[in-house]
């Protein structure tokens, strides 16, 4: 059963990652920086639980805040550009963060060993869950508690005035601006919320895997993040969840025997979604 619990953990973390991109995509912006916020949340929270011996909950909160702060900081300059330039700018930021952690070395002695990030060798000994007696099932429930909370928050956003403003900016910036919407404030707020969600996802990822490294936060992860909402559709948060279950549960795990051929299937799925179902494979007409 631990294998299935582990798969459900992975689906939960990737759902959070997809939701972090979902709210940004609502404004019509395509960002490849989600992997960077994911990495920041992972490393910050890991250092707090391992080096400072914090409990997972406050460490997770700080990891989310760190992701939000980074997203807000990068949002102001990055969101002044649009389209391909925004994609390139956020991709460059994401790769810059990844290279930073590739060179980041900060360890302290604990007993007979040293713990903490060690550059290209990664960050090991993130063992809060096993050291405190958490089972795989307990970790799964903990992850999905945050998935449910984030989905409920974004579902509420969708039905509030804020959600209407996000969608208005995404559909027609000129019309939204003409009725007094501050485009920069809306886009940066969406990026900030997305950064916080990605930071939380990174914290959960770091602690359930117990070992992270710079390669865990590459451009493929950023591509997954924006692909889930595109494949699932932006009609509601449930489309992102359905897309993650389909991609991670069926394409990645169910077709494991195909090896790297799964990447071609994933790419074909995105092309299919963008050409035949531009509003998402799981969007219902009239919804």
In the chain, where the domains are located: 2-218
pLDDT at 282 over 70: no
pLDDT at 55 over 60: yes
What does the pLDDT look like over 179-233, one tens digit per residue? 888 888 899 999 999 999 999 999 999 999 999 999 999 998 998 899 899 888 8
Q: How many CB atoms lie within 10 A of CB 237?
A: 23
Both tokens of 125, joined, read 């000994």
What does the pLDDT look like over 130-181, one tens digit per residue? 999 999 999 999 999 999 999 999 999 988 999 899 999 988 888 888 888 8
Global pTM value: 0.92
Rounded to 5 degrees, φ, ψ at 140 are -60, -45
Q: Is 54 left (phi over 0), alpha (psi -120 to 50) or beta?
A: beta
Query: What is the residue-wise DSSP string for 98-115?
Result: HHHHHH-B--EEETTEEE
């Amino acid at each position: 059963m631990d294998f299935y619990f582990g798969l459900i953990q992975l689906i939960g973390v990737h759902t959070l990652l997809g939701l972090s991109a979902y709210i940004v995509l609502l404004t019509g912006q395509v960002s490849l920086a989600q992997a960077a916020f994911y990495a920041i949340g992972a490393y910050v929270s890991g250092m707090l639980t391992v080096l400072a011996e914090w409990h997972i909950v406050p460490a997770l909160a700080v990891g989310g805040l760190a992701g939000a702060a980074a997203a807000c900081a990068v949002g102001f300059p990055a969101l002044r550009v649009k389209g391909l330039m925004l994609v390139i700018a956020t991709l460059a930021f994401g790769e810059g963060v990844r290279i930073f952690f590739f060179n980041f070395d900060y360890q302290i002695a604990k007993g007979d060993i040293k713990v903490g990030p060690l550059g290209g060798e990664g960050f090991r000994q993130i063992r809060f869950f096993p050291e405190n007696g958490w089972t795989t099932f307990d970790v799964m429930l903990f992850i999905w508690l945050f998935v449910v909370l984030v989905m409920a928050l974004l579902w509420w956003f969708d039905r509030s005035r804020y959600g209407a403003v996000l969608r208005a900016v995404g559909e027609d910036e000129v019309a939204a601006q003409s009725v007094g919407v501050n485009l920069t404030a809306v886009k940066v707020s969406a990026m900030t919320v997305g950064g916080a969600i990605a930071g939380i996802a990174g914290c959960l990822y770091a602690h359930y895997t117990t070992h992270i490294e710079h390669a865990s936060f590459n451009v493929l992860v950023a591509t997954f993040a924006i692909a889930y909402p595109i494949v699932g559709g932006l009609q509601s948060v449930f489309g992102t969840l359905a897309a993650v279950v389909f991609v991670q549960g069926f394409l990645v795990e169910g077709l494991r025997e195909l090896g790297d051929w799964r990447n071609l299937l994933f790419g074909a799925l995105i092309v299919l979604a963008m050409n035949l179902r531009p509003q998402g494979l799981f969007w219902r007409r009239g919804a």
